[in-house]
């Protein structure tokens, strides 16, 4: 790679500019760790543990089962689960069968899940045995290609006494009833052989995952990601993460073989949690704490703080809202969080004061990065030391990755260092493209100097030291607690309300969640409605983080001469209103 602005004295010592070895099936990281560390613990869930050899055995059985049900190479299989210990085995089992995993947000409504299953053409779905998640699945699979539903109960993944007492006392979640023909996870694992099929995988071309991300127009799109996309990202993070493992010791790469414990507080259906926690833990032979609901407890986030104190994690990837929740937790002083060594923050800017408070409490270091679902996700990261990082920046591109700042009009002209433009990315982690969306691919890919670059929609520049800074967003997306909310998607749902004539959704700055969604609604002539009525409708039709926190009724929603909603006008009004408060 030609010399770039970040390849100067600030580049972390010992980190290579280029890496190799990612042209392999993604499931190799499980197989290799199971061979090296068969008896090491991989997952921890409510005191129950699963070793690498156990997870591999289950993954092999799932792959065997999938083939027995007619799943072929390239077929799509969905996972509709929170962070349960079943997840890694199911994920690796799907890709061992040569199939493509489709990860689904477990808080989706039936209509949201139905769209995703239909768009991906999923033939099977794994869901949780739960009074809410299972009925949602039953509704969602109607009028789709889904032929089999596999129900995952947690009882067999609990310590014996907890499973026994939980069953006795009715505390283990389960659905009230089941559809005929639906299968149970424990039964399929018990009956299948631990013999995965032999499938020829071209890691650079064959898909491992379709993960759904939104757009400023239309409905969510599936980012089609290959085995090598993720393999590169995991290896790059392993090279990048230089940490001080003991007080006074020099920084070194993340140790393998069970030294580290990752806190699985980010959802694994999202590429951030999947890559930086679940897959990175696996590649390094580390332990992984399963946190299905980080907000659990009274006050919220108490249970995850208890897990930190009990299981002593050393590494925590998280979004800023989680660091905020920890730093501002009413009972924080009752918990010992000093086991944490390194924390990776992404998804939204981390307030400097929150960073300071968290580091003072834990003794760990937080380093911010940047990425997208389309890039597996990590593109850039700050150096992993207090001396090397630059607060407020997103750091440098990780190994084998290039970033250009290009003009907003064409997306092909590279701009001078220091000048704002659109951030464009080239690297092994960049997706193959959007699933069945050729027109969308034409919009986001450009050839520059003979290489394919992905246009992110984010605006930024490279400073004098080579650090990359984001200054604005070209897209109208709203980032709520690190998760993307796409105004058009929310507006499309609001438009289905019989009383709504016009809707506009914007992001409003918020100290706790970064932003929240606010909806402006113009009712049809003669209609009346209340904020509570619209919020109840949103609750029925969209996931919690997408729901507008505030509803404002307007006689007229501002539009351009061609009828396009002027979201920027509305957002500027809100910012001005906050300034004057």
Residue 391: C-alpha distances to residues 368, 381, 565 (Å): 8, 11, 35
Which residue do the tokens 């979201």 mark? Answer: 567
**247 is written with which tokens?**
């007080």
CA distance 566 to 544: 25
Judged on CB neighbours under 10 Å (0-12, 13-18, 19+), 195 is exposed
Name which residue leads in pLDDT, 210 or 508: 210
474: pLDDT strictly greater than 80: no
CA angle, 515 as apex, 511 and 516 as ends, to 5°?
A: 115
Domain map (residue ranges) of the chain: 478-579
Helix (H) or strand (E) holding 324: helix 320-327
pLDDT in tens, 122-167: 999 999 999 999 999 999 999 999 999 999 999 999 988 777 666 7
Q: What is the pTM of this model?
A: 0.87
DSSP state of 478: E
Mean pLDDT of 192-213: 97
| DSSP bridge partners of 103 | 79, 211
Q: What is the pLDDT of residue 17?
A: 96
Predicted confidence (pLDDT) at residue 293 exceeds the cutoff of 90: yes
Say yes or no to pLDDT of 215 above 50.
Answer: no
Mean pLDDT of 107-113: 93
Q: Given this model, what pLDDT does residue 22 score? A: 98
Digit-coded pLDDT (tens) for 424-441: 999 999 999 999 999 999
CA distance 450 to 466: 23
- Laid out side by side, the sheet with 207-213 consists of 183-184, 148-152, 124-128, 76-80, 100-103, 207-213, 221-226, 433-434
For domain 478-579, give the CATH number: 3.30.300.30
The strand pair at 421-426 and 451-462 is best described as antiparallel
C-alpha angle 350-112-115 in degrees, rounded to nearest 5: 120
In 3D space, the residue among 190, 207, 153, 158 whose CA is nearest the CA of residue 175 turns out to be 153
pLDDT of residue 568: 77
Query: Taking 50 as the threshold, does the pLDDT of residue 58 lie above it?
Result: yes
């Amino acid at each position: 790679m030609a010399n770039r602005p970040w390849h100067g004295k600030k580049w972390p010592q010992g980190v290579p500019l280029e890496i190799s070895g990612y042209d392999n099936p993604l499931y190799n990281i499980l197989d290799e760790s199971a061979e090296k560390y068969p008896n090491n613990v991989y997952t921890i869930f409510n005191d129950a543990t699963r070793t690498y050899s156990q997870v591999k055995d289950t993954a092999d059985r799932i792959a065997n089962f999938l083939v027995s049900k007619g799943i072929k190479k390239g077929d799509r299989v969905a996972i509709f689960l929170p962070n349960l210990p079943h997840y890694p085995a199911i994920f690796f089992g799907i890709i061992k069968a040569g199939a493509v995993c489709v990860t689904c947000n477990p808080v989706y409504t039936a209509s949201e899940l139905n769209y995703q299953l239909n768009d991906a053409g999923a033939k099977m779905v794994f869901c949780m045995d739960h009074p809410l998640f299972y009925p949602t699945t039953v509704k969602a699979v109607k009028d789709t290609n889904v032929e089999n539903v596999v129900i995952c109960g947690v009882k067999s993944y609990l310590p014996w006494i907890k499973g026994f007492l939980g069953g006795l006392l009715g505390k283990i979640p389960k659905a009230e009833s089941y559809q005929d023909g639906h299968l149970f996870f424990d039964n399929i694992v018990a009956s299948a052989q631990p013999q995965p099929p032999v499938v020829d995988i071209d890691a650079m071309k064959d898909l491992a995952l379709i993960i759904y991300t939104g757009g400023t127009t239309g409905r969510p799109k599936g980012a089609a990601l290959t085995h090598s996309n993720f393999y590169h990202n995991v290896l790059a993070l392993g090279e990048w993460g230089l940490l001080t493992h003991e007080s006074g010791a020099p920084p070194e790469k993340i140790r393998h073989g069970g030294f580290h414990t990752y806190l699985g507080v980010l959802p694994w259906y999202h590429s951030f949690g999947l890559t930086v926690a679940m897959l990175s833990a696996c590649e390094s032979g580390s332990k992984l704490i399963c946190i299905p609901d980080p907000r659990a407890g009274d006050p919220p986030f108490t249970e995850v703080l208890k897990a930190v104190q009990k299981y002593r994690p050393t590494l925590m990837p998280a979004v800023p809202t989680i660091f905020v929740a920890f730093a501002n937790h009413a009972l924080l002083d009752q918990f010992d969080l000093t086991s944490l060594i390194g924390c990776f923050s992404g998804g939204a800017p981390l307030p400097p004061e929150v960073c300071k408070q968290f580091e003072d409490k834990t003794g760990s270091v937080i380093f911010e990065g940047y990425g997208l679902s389309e890039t597996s996700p990590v593109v850039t990261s700050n150096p992993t030391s207090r001396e090397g990082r630059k607060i407020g920046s997103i750091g440098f591109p990780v190994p084998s990755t290039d970033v250009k700042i290009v003009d907003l009009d064409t997306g092909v002209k590279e701009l001078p260092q220091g000048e704002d433009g659109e951030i464009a990315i080239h690297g092994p982690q960049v997706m193959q493209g959007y699933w069945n969306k050729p027109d969308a691919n034409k919009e986001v890919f450009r050839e520059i100097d003979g290489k394919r670059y992905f246009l992110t929609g984010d605006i930024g520049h490279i400073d004098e030291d080579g650090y990359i800074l984001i200054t604005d967003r070209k897209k109208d997306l709203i980032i709520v607690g690190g998760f993307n909310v796409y105004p058009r998607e929310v507006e499309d749902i609001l438009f289905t309300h019989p009383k709504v004539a016009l809707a506009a959704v914007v992001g409003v700055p918020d100290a706790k969640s970064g932003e929240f969604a606010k909806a402006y609604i113009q009712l049809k002539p003669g209609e009346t409605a209340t904020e509570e009525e619209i919020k109840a409708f949103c609750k029925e039709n969209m996931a919690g983080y997408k729901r507008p926190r505030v509803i404002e009724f307007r006689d007229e929603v501002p539009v351009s001469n061609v009828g396009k909603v002027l979201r920027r006008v509305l957002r500027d009004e809100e910012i001005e209103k906050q300034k004057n408060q």
